Amino acid sequence: MEAGDQLTAALAALLEQARAAAQHSYSPYSGFRVGAALRLNDGTVVIGTNVENVSYGLTLCAERAALVQAVSRFGPTVRITAAAVANLNDAPSPPCGACRQVLAEFIEPDAPVVFPAADGTRVMAFRDMMPLAFDMKLDKRG
């Protein structure tokens, strides 16, 4: 696994896949074109893009679009080992809080997440991005 603070060749390639996904963005209202790429535990990369809606609350972020595709294709036991987010607007765009919480169900805590930040491209371990994710352990006894 990549270090949590450096852009490796593997993460740079994942970021390029996120940029390519952003080309397919449906963002007629904001013009903010975002793509995401998730590397799964078997090495497969799944991509997604943001899909806006005139009712902004119904907009689907690229990260969640990619995750929905991963679960749809590979089932609920899929695990994410790295994630990349890119946009075509040259603006900072770390995963939003909702995306972080949804990713928390499927991403390895030490998985690197690469995204554009105000100070350039940033790489962080997921656990540092979402240290207090909501977690509800279900009691399986009864």
- What's the pLDDT tens digit per position in 61-85? 999 999 999 999 999 999 999 999 9
Q: State residue 11's pLDDT score.
A: 96
Quick one: which of 3, 4, 1 has its CA closest to 128? 4
Q: Give the active site residues.
A: 63
Please enumerate in sequence order all residues whose Cβ is within 8 A of that of 118, keeping only pairs 6 or more positions apart, or say none: 92
Map residue 124 onto helix, strand or coil: strand
Map residue 63 onto helix, strand or coil: helix
Q: Provide the pLDDT confidence category of residue 134 given band limits of 50, 70 and 90.
A: confident
83 vs 119, residue with greater confidence: 83
Map residue 90 onto helix, strand or coil: coil
CA dihedral defined by 51, 57, 61, 65, rounded to 10 degrees? Answer: -70
pTM for the structure as a whole: 0.90
Q: Provide the pLDDT confidence category of residue 136 given band limits of 50, 70 and 90.
A: low
Topology (CATH level 3) of domain 9-129: Cytidine Deaminase; domain 2 (3.40.140)
Quick one: which of 13, 16, 19 has its CA closest to 89? 19
Q: State residue 7's pLDDT score.
A: 86
Res. 3: pLDDT tops 60 = no
